[in-house]
């Protein structure tokens, strides 16, 4: 008996159309920041990678980043060769993946031992203001809710994807920015130019009332005002890194195997958390 497939979050055809219409020449500033951040992280690794690969749906805009790396389309099944690369970068696409763990597993399989996986994508704090405003507007005008913003993962959740994919020395962190816009219409235009408009499989397909976005703009300006009569929009970019396991990598020490006390190294006094509180002038007090 065939196992039922989980429902798709993303309408792949709609996402392909949105990305094809993208104008990153007008709205690629976040991609530019990600390029710089990834380059800094690679510099900090202090290692020369000779067989990199880059996964991205925006191949033309990323052509100037590690031009020697083959470009891999960000599809469900990545066109990667097992064990062929010492570096795999997944750039600005993982937030739309129906199976992000599967994407990282495929990337990990393509790594040589001690190869590095890096990913950058939009995190769960992105567009939180827009999400709230659209929900308020739908309740006020339509009496219900529909999915309009992709549910991007929380940093704590996305960090766990690396271990599930079998990568060692996992690290997850994020970069947050506040961007101001004249109004909600300019924000939506930027999202169109970024190829990040609504491509959710469960989205409503019928047009909203004419006054919908005018009301959304009013709510946005009242709820999330920014200086000079503008509105603010939060962007979070999550960065993940992990290494293909190899015998040469450092391993964490076993509990209790340390040869020195952390308190001695820091020059502080260590207290026993199981001890009873001390008496202070006849009154029970905390530890000093």
Cβ neighbors of 247 (< 8 A, separation 6 or more) are none
pLDDT at 192 exceeding the cut of 90: yes
What separation in angstroms does the CA of 35 have from each of 8, 48, 125? 30, 17, 20
Report pTM: 0.81
What are the sequence ranges of the domains in the chain? 12-245
Averaged pLDDT, 240-257: 76
Averaged pLDDT, 71-91: 97
Q: How far apart are CA 126 and CA 120, in angstroms?
A: 13
Averaged pLDDT, 144-166: 71
DSSP SS3 for 118: strand
Q: 10 Å Cβ neighbour count for 138? A: 19
| pLDDT at residue number 283 | 35
Per DSSP, the residues of 186-222 read HHHHHHHHHT-S--BTT---SPPPTTHHHHHHHHHHH
* CATH superfamily to which 12-245 belongs: Vaccinia Virus protein VP39 (3.40.50.150)
Please name which of 148, 149, 145 lies closest in space to residue 126, comparing C-alpha atoms: 149
pLDDT at 243 exceeding the cut of 90: yes
| pLDDT at residue number 247 | 82
Q: 10 Å Cβ neighbour count for 52? A: 18
**What are the tens digits of pLDDT across the range 1-10?**
455 556 678 8
**What are the tens digits of pLDDT across the range 13-62?**
999 999 999 999 999 999 999 999 999 999 999 899 999 999 999 999 99
Please name which of 222, 203, 230 lies closest in space to residue 138, comparing C-alpha atoms: 203
Phi, psi of 276 (to 5 degrees): -80, 150
pLDDT at 215 exceeding the cut of 80: yes
């Amino acid at each position: 008996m065939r196992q039922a497939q989980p429902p798709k979050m993303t309408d792949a055809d709609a996402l392909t159309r949105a990305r094809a219409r993208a104008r990153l020449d007008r709205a690629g500033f976040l991609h530019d920041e990600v390029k710089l951040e990834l380059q800094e992280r690679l510099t900090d690794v202090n290692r020369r990678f000779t067989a990199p690969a880059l996964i991205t749906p925006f191949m033309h805009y990323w052509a100037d980043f590690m031009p020697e790396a083959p470009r891999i389309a960000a599809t469900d099944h990545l066109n990667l060769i097992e064990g062929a690369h010492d570096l795999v970068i997944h750039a600005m696409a993982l937030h739309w993946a129906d199976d992000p763990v599967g994407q990282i597993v495929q990337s990990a399989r393509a790594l040589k031992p001690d190869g590095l996986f890096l990913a950058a994508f939009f995190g769960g704090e992105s567009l939180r203001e827009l999400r709230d405003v659209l929900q308020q507007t739908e309740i006020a005008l339509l009496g219900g809710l529909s999915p309009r913003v992709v549910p991007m993962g929380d940093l704590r959740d996305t960090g766990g994807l690396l271990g599930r994919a079998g990568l060692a020395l996992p690290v997850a962190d994020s970069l947050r920015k506040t961007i101001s816009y004249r109004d909600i219409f300019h924000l939506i235009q930027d999202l169109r130019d970024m190829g990040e408009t609504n491509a959710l499989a469960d989205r409503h397909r019928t047009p909203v009332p004419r006054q919908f976005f005018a009301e959304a703009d009013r709510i946005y300006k009242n709820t999330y005002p920014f200086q000079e009569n503008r509105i603010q929009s939060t962007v979070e970019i999550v960065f993940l890194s992990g290494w293909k396991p190899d015998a040469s990598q450092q391993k964490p020490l076993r509990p209790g195997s340390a040869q020195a006390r952390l308190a001695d190294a820091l020059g502080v006094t260590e207290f026993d958390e199981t001890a009873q509180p001390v008496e202070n002038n006849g009154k029970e007090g905390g530890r000093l």
